[in-house]
Chains A and B, each alone.
Chain A
Amino acid sequence: MKAEKTKLTEGAVVVTPASTGANKTGSWRTYKPCLDQKKCIRCGICWNFCPDNCFMLKKETENKKYKHRFEINYDYCKGCGICAKECPVKAIMMQREEK
């Protein structure tokens, strides 16, 4: 093993910011949160509570009652279920994911 050949930085410093994006942690998931847009009241509690920032704020095009909607980024969602637990109108259901 030759450490100098591996091109690793000294002291394991990551010199490129935001490089964690390359690590798609969604594959760790067992349960998948499914958001029912019809039930959702756009309160933003899920967006606030998600430990992995997986709720993306998007422009609403179908429902004229709201200007925005939330969508889940399954590339990084680990399926912790905090969003489903916190949702006041039970618009998020955790479903077993088969891979």
Chain B
Amino acid sequence: MKRIAEASAVMAEAVKLCEPQVIPLYPITPQTHIMEELANHVNNGELKAKIIRTESEHSMMSTLIGSLLAGSRSFTATSSQGLALAHEVLPIISGLRLPAVIGVAARALAAPLNIWGDHSDVMDARDTGWIQLHCRNTQAVFDTTIQAFAIAEKARLPVMVIMDGYTLSHMFEPADILSKTEVSGYLPKFKIRYQLDTNKPMTFGPVGFTDTYMEFKHQLKDAHEEAAKIISEENKRYGKMFRREYGDGMVEIFNPSAKQVIICQGTTAETAKLTGACVIHVRCFRPFPFSQIEKACRGKDVVVVDRAYSYGAGAPLHMEVKAVVPQARSAVMGLGGRDIRLEDLQMILKSKEKELWVDNYGK
């Protein structure tokens, strides 16, 4: 059923349909609406889940470990400083191979303090072993959230569902909301490989000495290679059931015949489509779709739009793309919620600069 709703509320609706049993939470802008909506669903009796109010994002993320190991599907959401505070727990969750799903309303990192959207927080978490899925509109938020649970539980890896703070998290758009029976027809019952059980005691999170640590990390690397296939499979299966597909699951390519290419993530893709250039929306940042991007960019003029920066090195999405597309140019835009307008994207297509920080405020 089509409904006009805020992307945050749509994410909460999708989570509700996936029926998590535990939701640890801690409020932070611009994620707060997701948690408010979930709390409403629990209060109204539409979702039978235990809400745990924690004292920090670090505790919130740690609570996820406990609830997942106890065998319950779990969800939480955060942003910016919250994700940074929870950072320590992120590699623990992926190292334990737990199927956590979290929503991230991507936001700038302090200082200076800034509550608006960019990708600084999620890029900061890119090396933690989590799958990172970006959404470009409200409908994608709904579909990606449901797929995320299926992907996480099949790949036995945690997934971040990322939407741009404010630009998407506070955006009202029509979205097709599935029914409970439709979602339960798609999403298998929750199960994990090793579960807390007093009758069968096990040790979780032991020391990995120099003789095993590297092997466990190699397992994680293999799991990510496997996850790339699972993401594509789940995208296809979802598309077959509900007639909505997101490219091959890893990248979405619009207008592939155009000579110039804009590579971007999140809502920027929707604006970039209006330039008439070929637009590659990197839906999945980890695992990274190197081969698809290389194939789509062969012999073309490519510009990569980043909403984050790795200081002293370059723009993170551009650095990945450059590994397979050496001619790719970099444009750093929209940091701290700065607008990314159509004319700015048209300008970067015309520019010949290797790295361009687009200063468009008030112009």
Contacts and interface: CB of A to CB of B under 8 A. Distances in A.
Contacts, number: 56
Contacts of A11: 95-98, 156, 193-194, 204, 216
Interface in A1-22: 1-4, 6, 8-15, 17, 19
B312 interface: no
Contacts of A12: 95-96, 205-206, 208, 212, 216
Interface size class of A (residues with CB under 8 A): 10 to 19
B215 interface: yes
Contacts of A10: 97, 156, 193-194, 219
Given A11-B97, A13-B202, A14-B203, A1 B214 contact: yes
A11 B208 CA distance: 11
Interface string B59-70: 000000000000
Given A13-B202, A17-B202, A8 B194 contact: no
A3 to B, nearest CB: 4
A6 B222 CA distance: 13
Interface centre among B202, B204, B208, B215 (most CB of A within 10 A): B215
B201 A3 contact: no
Contacts of B97: 10-11
A14 B206 contact: yes
A13 B203 contact: yes
A86 B163 CA distance: 57
Given A1-B218, A17-B203, 10 more contacts: A1-B215, A3-B221, A10-B193, A11-B95, A11-B96, A11-B98, A12-B206, A13-B96, A14-B202, A17-B202
Interface of B: 95-98, 156, 193-194, 201-206, 208, 212, 214-216, 218-219, 221-222
